[in-house]
Structure 1
Amino acid sequence: MHLLSGEYECKLDPKGRLVLPAKVKGNLPDESGNQLVLVRGFEPCLVLYPRAAWRVIHDKVMALDEFNEEYRQFQRNFFRGMTEVELDSISRFMLPRTMLRYAGIEKEAIVVGLGNRCEIWDPARYEEFLIKDQQTFSQQAQKFLATDSTLAV
């Protein structure tokens, strides 16, 4: 199983290209090759998926009933701006200007591996969205991860 993990500081080149960190590239599934899918995140960030991981999500969204207005609205917003990107010979890919504006990314970015995907953040916005209170983080760990009293934090 390939697990995308870690937090990496990156710089964009003047053309808006980002070099995918080597550890992230090395953990991409072989079947993804150099093809990835970039979408807008639910928070003000971009989300980068290997093709196989994207296919699972794509199929779920496409399975929604197109005759239901709420589902159509969700599909329209979910797929808005979705683009396929290809890594070049130095693992670099283009971030479209509309996506950069959405995420507020200018010259620097933070790439965060989250298992089946990576988020790409403007560094200042990323800090705003992190939990700063250790007690809150601990409570969330207990709530989301503890299945019995032996795991209580």
Structure 2
Amino acid sequence: MFRGVHNLTVDAKGRIKVPTRHQVQIDSICAGQMVLSIHPDDPCLLLYPLKDWQALEEKVSALPSLNIHTKRLKRKLIGHATDCELDKAARILIPSALRDYANIGKKIILSGQGHNFELWDEDTWNEQLNNLEALSKKEEIPIEISQLSL
């Protein structure tokens, strides 16, 4: 499971270095083989170990192909998917088209989401957190969350 928020820097070639605490896990799960794509709803990128990506891709591919929401999801999520691999220095190259989509500059946030990571431009991440905080104050807490014990 990938956890935690990490402040990272994108180098001049568009690469990020995966934090040390995740390198061994990524190597054991997928031998460094990852898939990077755009998030279909948020201005961020998704980074999955190849095995978890393949499971997600199968689920998406099994959806009704003539449904407009399925088409949108496939075109965004699968259509922008890029295979990537941790290099010997534990870096991942973020293609320029994906950096442009997520407005990724020099400073980014790598946020562990369990089976995958989200990659955000640092300013966009902070704006998103503030927006979610404000929105959550306007809506009732769902019963599933209110019953959760921390």
> In which range does the TM-score fall when normalised by the shorter chain?
0.7 to 0.9
- Which residue of the partner structure matches residue 112 of structure 2? 113
- Which residue of the partner structure matches residue 125 of structure 1? 124
1:60 is paired with a residue of what secondary structure? helix
- Which residue of the partner structure matches residue 75 of structure 2? 76
- Which residue of the partner structure matches residue 63 of structure 1? 62
- Which residue of the partner structure matches residue 9 of structure 2? 11
Deviations 1:22-41 (A, max 9, x none): 11223337231110010101
Structure 1 residues 143 and 123, CA, compared in 2 at 3 Å: closer, same or farther? farther
CA contact (8 A) 1:4 1:28 kept: no
Separation of aligned partners in 2, 1:92 and 1:60: 29
RMSD over aligned Cα, in angstroms?
A: 2.6
Separation of aligned partners in 2, 1:96 and 1:69: 30
**Structure 1: runs of 5 or more not aligned:** none
Matching of residue 43 in structure 1 with residue 14 in structure 2: no
2:64 is paired with a residue of what secondary structure? coil
Deviation at 1:81, TM superposition (A): 1.4
Matching of residue 53 in structure 1 with residue 80 in structure 2: no
2:110 is paired with a residue of what secondary structure? strand
**Structure 2: runs of 5 or more not aligned:** none
Deviations 1:36-93 (A, max 9, x none): 0101012000110011211111001111233x15233432222121101010011101
